[in-house]
Amino acid sequence: MLTQDQLEVLLSDLESDRVERTTSTSKTDKFGEAMCAFANDLPGHGEPGYLMIGADDDGTLSGLTVTDALLKNLAAIRADGNLLPQPAINVARFALQGGELAVVEVLPSDLPPVRYKGRVWVRVGPRRGIANEQDERILSERRVARARSFDARVTCFRC
């Protein structure tokens, strides 16, 4: 997960294909679409994407008070059956000068394309949208390239 210094740098920069900010706390579909897009990692950065709840587009904090219920709701998006295959995520609360922030860190999936409610979402720069056929082909090829045959897999005999 991010350090507070790294978070402040991301807040002061523009939105990108790795950062989305919102002041909304209840738009579950928006959050699911963003998590899906970050997990798909269309540009191939191989680095996490960050959904920041409680920040305006310009990076200023909205004065949100992050509750336990909000953090639980954000974490539950991963397991509600709408986001498949389930990506690896981390959810955290940050207390900054000027307010609090809920941050969802989404790791790139090894099994793209990830779908939210049956649709593949991607980020192209600061924009989130539905993947086109070419985007889906790129993601599917990435999945095949990462697949290993049975004899190339690591086996743990103690597990």
List of domains in the chain: 4-135 (3.30.950.30)
pLDDT single digits (tens) 56-79: 999 999 999 999 999 999 999 999
Q: Is 83 within 8 Å of 66 (Cβ atoms)?
A: no
Q: Which two tokens stand for residue 90?
A: 């981390």
- What per-residue confidence (pLDDT) applies to 105? 98
pLDDT single digits (tens) 77-114: 999 999 999 999 999 999 998 899 999 999 999 999 99
For range 113-133, the mean pLDDT: 97
Nearest to 141 by CA among 111, 119, 120: 111
Q: Is 148's pLDDT higher than 80?
A: no
State pTM to two decimals: 0.90
For range 6-25, the mean pLDDT: 94
Q: Is 41 within 8 Å of 18 (Cβ atoms)?
A: no
